[in-house]
Amino acid sequence: MTEIKRIEVGPRMSQAVACGGLVWLAGQCGTAGESIADQTRESLRKIDGLLAEAGTDKTRILNTTIWLVNIDDYDAVNAVWDAWIPEGCSPARACGESRLGGVGYGIEIICVAAVI
């Protein structure tokens, strides 16, 4: 039987769940009210930490979904993303516009990575 590892378990959700060589991360947001670039950097910092705790890193991300409150922030987010993701390690990625679950949040990043 494959073990399920839950990371940062809360009453409603875990921040990450690893099983069968994969880890699924819950949506990661930065600090509400900060600039979109700062929120993006904070989201990616959280992703780095969760991936490390799961035993992997950003070079093993398979899929990413990015939700923006304002699609006009796309270029600013990409500038931060492009500096963060190593060359040759770009995952499959989607980006769309959506309302998020809290006031002041501009971005939420969700990803799935291989744990090898």
pTM, 2 dp? 0.95
Fold of 4-114: 60s Ribosomal Protein L30; Chain: A; (3.30.1330)
Q: Quote the tokens at residue 53.
A: 């705790």
Q: Would you give per-residue pLDDT tens digits along the chain (116 residues)? A: 589 999 999 999 999 999 999 999 999 999 999 999 999 999 999 999 999 999 999 999 999 999 999 999 999 999 999 999 999 999 999 999 999 988 899 999 999 999 98
DSSP type of residue 69 = S
pLDDT of residue 1: 57
User: What is the spatial distance between Cα 105 and Cα 91, in angstroms, rounded to a whole number?
Assistant: 24
pLDDT of residue 94: 98
Write down the domain spans for the chain: 4-114
pLDDT of residue 2: 80
User: What is the spatial distance between Cα 77 and Cα 70, in angstroms, rounded to a whole number?
Assistant: 11
- Other beta carbons within 10 angstroms of residue 101's beta carbon come to 10
Give Cα 87 to chain centroid, integer Å: 18
